[in-house]
Amino acid sequence: MHSHPLRSEGVIFGAEYNPEQWDLATQSQDIPLMVEAGITMVTLGTFAWGALETDDGVYDFKWLRRVMDRLHAAGISVCLATPTACPPMWLYHAHPEMAMTNRTGVRLGQGSRQNWCPSSPAYSRYALRLVGRLAEEFGDHPALAIWHVGNEMGCHNTFCFCERSAADFRQWLRERYGTIDRLNHAWGTAFWGQYFRDFDHIDPPRETTTLQNSAHRLDFARFSSDRQIALYDAERDILKSIAPDVPVTTNFMVTEHISSIDYGSFAEHVDLVANDHYLIADDAQSWRELAFCADRTRGLSDNRPWLLMEHSTSAVNWQPRNIAKTPGEMRRNTLAHIARGADGVMFFQWRQSAFGAEKYHSAVVPHAGTETRIWDEAVALGASVARLAEVRGTTADTAQVAIVFDYEAWWATQLDGHPTVDFSYSTEMRSIHSALLDRGIAVDVVPPKADLSKYSAVVVAGLYMMSQELADKIVDAVERGTHLLVTYFSGIVDSDDHVWLGGYPGALRETLGVRVEEFTPLRAGESVRMQVTDRHPGVAEDELTGSVWAERLRNTTAESLAVYSDPALDGAPAITVRDAVGPTGGSAWYISTHLAPPSLAAVVGEFCRVARIRPAARVRGSHVEVIRRRGDDRSYLFAINHSPKEAFVDAAGTDLLTGEAFTGRIPLRPGDVRVIREATA
Ligand code: GAL
């Protein structure tokens, strides 16, 4: 097992604490309440630049020291944020050019947060000066457990289009391409006569007339993500130079709807991967998205323990309809993150703000105080998390299945001029993840650099852009025995967004044994039907349906598992299987449409049977997650029942949450969670 980056003990139960919003009388109640709730770590200082540097070079660290001393005395450790997300108003006044400029050339105004250009020299100069002062003041404070750089870097300010950003972008392009000819080739500027003579002639992809050069936009996305990582590195280097032993991280936003930063690259720069996750309230089964994001976060941390830096006790306030969590939901969410590898779970925020933009966002201490359901559930949850101390440091059980997830491929799907607006990369991946989740199968969602050959099965879902290197790696794994499942619109273009010619999916065509000659996307709401052939009698359904997409494909070396039955594609292959790729290879499966959930469940079920993929435990019931964490000499089975019905899990051991011992069939009440220390590891 790897050494643990966090100095604190047990599984962390924490919250972001913003005492600067409260008078001293209220603050004096906070720490006793934290102790009552079992809080073991708080994040401090996230938005406190203005309170710590009240004017240019005028610092006030006294209040923060007082709070840290008191927390330390109460045994609560501190995740200290560098407050660089929100520069103070005096700094904007002195450097108005520091504000963000959007795509249309408008410089953004006051009143919100993170409104600074990532390439602004003034911002960096002041931010790094403050980081240095903060590290000198608190780098050796006994409460300090970890630094937290900025906040959700790039959440609101990834893409700035000002002249300073343009200059930085040109420099980045010079370093990437060396010569303008190379750039012209990569960007395909022969199309629409866009040839550049000099790097100095290039602008960021500002608002324009119609479809925009996709490679130009893609490189701006890469540049903008790199800028955020560079800003992190600059702060980290100062923190390390002053307090070398304190780990450094920042909170990622691994979620379904935020794609702007390449966390696959960013993860290599942090000592501990930390994530913020909020439920999509519109989604009645949002626990599925949580599971997918937690598996992605674990993939980013290479299966080492990670930290959930923020989630909510109940509703947020930034979605169209902010639905309150139901009783027990916060507990299930918390334990689901821990099940999937988190060694700590924290809330935004400790006390619900009385004013400001987020006053209707839930917190541990709600507006109504401590005689509330939220408070009672938080206190009970703190006690439950404390009982899981021995789980700390174990890792999720070795998964047999990997889904490859790539941020650059995600960006590429968002570019102009694609076959349909209905294609969604995250939906494709989540559909397969969900189908596996329903079978109780552990999945690693991994970046392209991961070692794929250790998995029994690899899934490539809607991975539109694929480098030669990744394609080679996938093919190599399959030739050595890994089973491959690929869904439509994968492996279509290379890293420059140039199409792999000769029939789609160019990067994997030979391995799959198919050749797609034409995309035939569907109208909104339209569906296609498919008939299952008799090749795989184990497929649970005879007729399958799909939506969004279809295509005209031919089998070269594969055979059809299902054929289209609609008139336009009548009898053409829809789902194909190549039984073995080479003498020792695995099978290669291809799905050419977006399958409806029951159809996907049937195909994934058959794929798992062929690939011999087994669930973490046998479950009787539906909407139940089962996932295992394992240490050198012990293992823990987490079982989470999201349904209103009782379920049963076949396992033996002791429930850490209740102390009950079971010898085989474990009952799981509606909405309940069990964490079983298994009898045999
Ligand atoms: C996060 C952010 C917090 C708070 C929270 C509300 O994105 O880091 O500061 O705004 O969302 O859900």
Segment 110-127, tens digit of pLDDT: 999 999 999 999 999 999
Over residues 163-172, the mean pLDDT reads: 98
* Residue 660 is among the residues annotated as catalytic for this protein: no
In this structure, the dihedral spanned by the alpha carbons of residues 239, 241, 246 and 247, taken in order and rounded to 10 degrees, is 70
Q: How remote is the CA of residue 273 from the centroid of ligand 1, in Å?
A: 17
Residue 278 has pLDDT above 80, yes or no: yes
Asked if residue 170 has its Cβ within 6 Å of ligand 1, the reply is no
Residue 233 has pLDDT above 60, yes or no: yes
Residue nearest to atom 5 of ligand 1 (CA): 348
Asked if residue 15 has its Cβ within 6 Å of ligand 1, the reply is no
Residue 1 has pLDDT above 50, yes or no: no
Q: Are 518 and 557 in contact (CB under 8 A)?
A: no
What's domain 42-272's superfamily in CATH?
Glycosidases (3.20.20.80)
Asked if residue 263 has its Cβ within 6 Å of ligand 1, the reply is no
Provide the pLDDT for residue 159. Answer: 98
Ligand 1 mutation pick, 86, 152, 261, 349, max ligand atoms within 8 A of CB: 152
pLDDT tens digits, 587-615: 999 999 999 999 999 999 999 999 999 99
Strands 12-17 and 342-347: parallel
Over residues 312-316, the mean pLDDT reads: 98
What is the architecture, at CATH level 2, of domain 401-611? Answer: 3-Layer(aba) Sandwich (3.40)
* pLDDT top residue among 585 and 680: 585
Distance CA 246, CA 81 (A): 13
Asked if residue 252 has its Cβ within 6 Å of ligand 1, the reply is no
Cis ω before 505 (30° cut-off from 0): yes
Domains 42-272 and 619-678 share a fold: no
The catalytic residue among 16, 53, 235, 310 is 310
Provide the pLDDT for residue 257. Answer: 87
Q: How remote is the CA of residue 42 from the centroid of ligand 1, in Å?
A: 15
Residue 679 has pLDDT above 90, yes or no: no
The minimum-distance atom of ligand 1 relative to the CA of 316 is 12
pLDDT tens digits, 242-277: 999 999 999 999 998 899 999 999 999 999 999 999
Q: How remote is the CA of residue 448 from the centroid of ligand 1, in Å?
A: 29
Q: How remote is the CA of residue 199 from the centroid of ligand 1, in Å?
A: 38
Ligand 1 mutation pick, 155, 309, 358, max ligand atoms within 8 A of CB: 358
* Residue 310 is among the residues annotated as catalytic for this protein: yes
pLDDT tens digits, 477-513: 999 999 999 999 999 999 999 999 999 999 999 999 9
Distance CA 554, CA 515 (A): 5
Q: Which residues contact 70 (CB under 8 A, 6 or more apart)?
A: 31
Distance CA 628, CA 680 (A): 13
The catalytic residue among 16, 53, 137, 152 is 152
pLDDT tens digits, 358-409: 999 999 999 999 999 999 999 999 999 999 999 999 998 888 999 999 999 9
Q: How remote is the CA of residue 512 from the centroid of ligand 1, in Å?
A: 43
Distance CA 143, CA 1 (A): 26
Residue nearest to atom 10 of ligand 1 (CA): 358
Residue ranges per structural domain of the chain: 42-272, 401-611, 619-678
Confidence of residue 537 (pLDDT cuts 50, 70, 90): confident
Provide the pLDDT for residue 570. Answer: 85
Residue 2 has pLDDT above 60, yes or no: no
Provide the pLDDT for residue 81. Answer: 98
- 283: number of CA atoms within 13 Å, CB side? 12
The minimum-distance atom of ligand 1 relative to the CA of 312 is 12
Which CATH entry fits the domain spanning 619-678: 3.90.1300.10, 3.30.830.10, 1.10.357.10, 2.60.40.1180? Answer: 2.60.40.1180
Residue nearest to atom 4 of ligand 1 (CA): 348
Residue 539 has pLDDT above 70, yes or no: yes
Over residues 562-567, the mean pLDDT reads: 93
